Amino acid sequence: MKKKFTHLTPSGNPKMVDVNEKKETKRIAIAQAIIGLTSEIIEQFENEDIQTKKGPVFQTAILAGIMGAKKTSDLIPLCHPLGLNNCEVKIYINKAKEIVIDCMASVYGKTGVEMEALTGASVAALTIYDMCKGFSHDITIKEIKLIKKTGGKSDFERA
C-alpha cells in the first residue's frame, strides 16, 4: 500500500489531521540538536554553563526550549495545540566539544509530541546561537533530529 501525506486532502490542499477517533495514550518524544562552537566560545565554559553579558547561556536556552515546545502549534501551521504534561531540556558538551541539546516532551493525548520536542531543541539551539554570537558568528547548528517517540500508532527509535 502506497503511503500518503496525512496533511493533504485528496485534491492536494493542506488540512489538519482529524484525531477525533484516536485513542488517548501517553506519548513521549525526544529530539536532539547539535551545535558546533569555536574554541574561543568553549573556553568560556565554567560551572556547567557559559556566562555572557546576556546571562547564563545554557539556563536561558533551557527556558527558551521549554517555551518553544509549548508554542509549537503557534509556529507550525498544522500542529494540534497540546497542553504538554512535561518538557525537559538538557544541555551538555560532548567529547567532540559540541553542544548537545536533548529535549523530551510528553503528553497524554490523541496525537504525538515529536514536533514539540523538535521545536524545543531548535529554539534552545537558536538561543545559544543568539547568546554566543558576540564572541563569534562561526557557530553551526549541525543537526536537529528525532531520537525516539512512543505511544502512538507506531514507535520510533533512531539506531
Active-site residues, by number, are: 130
Chain mean position to CA 152: 18
User: What Rg value do the Cα atoms of the chain yield, rounded?
Assistant: 18
Element (DSSP H or E) covering residue 36: strand 25-36
Give SS3 for 94: coil
Nearest Cα to Cα of residue 145 among 122, 127, 112, 113? 122
